[in-house]
Amino acid sequence: MTGTRSCSVDGCDRDHYAHGLCMTHYQRQRRHGSPEIVHRRGRKPRAEQEARR
């Protein structure tokens, strides 16, 4: 372990943001209730990506 505080998610070495998580995982935790949950891309219709602003 290093002295630097970083994300507690396994395999993630991003900088600590809040609650022991990096910003990415912290937002994921807030949204989905778990930092491990990821909405997989690739199953969405292409129109949805193109409509994104």
Residues binding Zn ion (CB under 5 A): 7, 9, 12, 14, 22, 25
Q: How far is the CB of 46 from Zn ion (least distance, A)?
A: 29
Question: DSSP assignment, residue 14?
Answer: P
Q: How far is the CB of 9 from Zn ion (least distance, A)?
A: 4
* Helix, strand, coil percentages in the chain from 3-state DSSP, rounded to 5: 30, 10, 60
Distance CA 23, CA 7 (A): 9
**C-beta of 5 vs 14, nearer to Zn ion:** 14
**C-beta of 13 vs 44, nearer to Zn ion:** 13
